[in-house]
Amino acid sequence: MIRNRKSHRRPSRLPKARGAGQVEFILSILTILFLLFAMWEIIMIVYTMNVLSDAAKEGVRYAIVHGGGNINCSGPNPSADCTNPDPAAARVIDVVKDYARFSLHDTTAIGVNVNYPDGLSTSPARVRVEVSYDFVPYTALNLRPTLRAAAEGRIVF
């Protein structure tokens, strides 16, 4: 049998550590939440870069098949066959913004610049589409980078 023995320990003179577990739990939860929101922002930045890159590529695809020799041509120096010219490349800009509209972003904040480095919109001239977006984070972090993407191709038609 076990006998009840008195403990030979002296009572502690330190204050009791009541609530220490709660404080540790709250600090742990806050750290985990901070890491989760930071990962969310990084994921959204990567997603936004992919959307901008794909939108720029889509704009280049449109521009290379709608060169100066096409009926609905975009770019400078349209040919005589072009019945619906677009020298400012507004349709290329619309294609880029329409492609980006299917994402979680405000497409009015997307800046699109269409350049024809060779000065022509006929084959085999080049076209370059540059897209920029001022990223606004979902959390109140002080991070507001301007994300940029560009694509370039040769006009086919």
CB distance 87 to 120 below 8 Å: no
Q: How far apart are CA 157 and CA 93, in angstroms?
A: 19
Q: How far apart are CA 106 and CA 60, in angstroms?
A: 21
Residue 123 has pLDDT above 90, yes or no: no
Q: How far apart are CA 63 and CA 66, in angstroms?
A: 5
At 4 the pLDDT is 67
Q: What is the pLDDT of residues 23-68, one digit of tens each?
A: 999 999 999 999 999 899 899 999 999 999 999 999 999 999 888 7
Residues of the chain above pLDDT 90, percent: 45
Tell me the pairing of strands 126-134 and 110-115: antiparallel
Q: Indicate the SS3 state at residue 135.
A: coil
Q: What is the mean pLDDT of residues 10-15?
A: 71
How far is residue 102 from each of residues 47, 51, 94, 114, 138, measured CA to CA in Å?
12, 9, 13, 21, 18
- Name beta bridge partners: 112: 131
CB distance 96 to 58 below 8 Å: yes
CB distance 115 to 23 below 8 Å: no
Domain boundaries, the chain: 54-154
Q: What is the mean pLDDT of residues 7-13?
A: 70
